[in-house]
Amino acid sequence: MPLPQLTQARAPLTREIEVVNEFGARETIAIPAERDLTVYVDKRELVTLMTLGAHPEWLVLGYLLNQRLIASVDEIESITVDWDVNAASVKTRQGIDRIEERTSKRVVTTGCGQGSVFGNLMDEIDSIRLPESAVLRQSQLYAIVNAIRLKESTYKSAGSVHACALFHGEALQLFVEDVGRHNAVDTIAGWMCLQEGLPDGEKIFYTTGRLTSEMVIKSAQMGVAVVISRSGITQMGLDVAQRVGLCAIGRATNKHFLCYASPQRLVMDAVPALAPQPLRVRA
Which parts of this chain interact with a second copy (CB under 8 A)? 15, 17, 19-24, 27, 29, 31-36, 47-50, 103, 106-117, 138, 158-160, 162, 179-183, 209-210, 212-214, 231-238, 251, 255-260, 263, 266, 268, 271-272, 274
Residue 282, Cβ density class (10 Å: 0-12 exposed, 13-18 middle, ≥19 buried): exposed
Secondary structure of residue 193 in the 3-state scheme = coil
* Residue 104 C-beta: closest distance to a second copy, Å: 9
Nearer to a second copy, 77 or 99 (CB): 99
Nearer to a second copy, 111 or 223 (CB): 111
* Residue 116 C-beta: closest distance to a second copy, Å: 4
245: which residues sit within 8 A by CB, 6+ positions away?
130, 225, 261, 262
CA angle 218, 223, 225 (to 5 degrees): 90
* Residue 166 C-beta: closest distance to a second copy, Å: 19
* Residue 165 C-beta: closest distance to a second copy, Å: 16
Q: Of the candidates 13, 279, 40, which has an alpha carbon nearest to the alpha carbon of residue 163?
A: 13
Nearer to a second copy, 109 or 221 (CB): 109
155: which residues sit within 8 A by CB, 6+ positions away?
161, 163, 177, 208
Query: What is the rounded radius of gyration, in angstroms, for the C-alpha atoms of the chain?
Result: 20
Secondary structure of residue 183 in the 3-state scheme = helix
3-state secondary structure labels for all residues of 49-91? EEECCCCHHHHHHHHHHHCCCCCCHHHEEEEEEECCCCEEEEE
* Residue 281 C-beta: closest distance to a second copy, Å: 26
CA–CA dist 206, 111 (Å, integer): 16
* Residue 26 C-beta: closest distance to a second copy, Å: 9
Nearer to a second copy, 5 or 101 (CB): 101
* Residue 181 C-beta: closest distance to a second copy, Å: 5
Do the beta carbons of residue 142 and residue 270 sit within 8 Å?
yes
* Residue 145 C-beta: closest distance to a second copy, Å: 11
Nearer to a second copy, 58 or 257 (CB): 257
Phi then psi dihedrals of residue 101, to 5 deg:
-60, -40
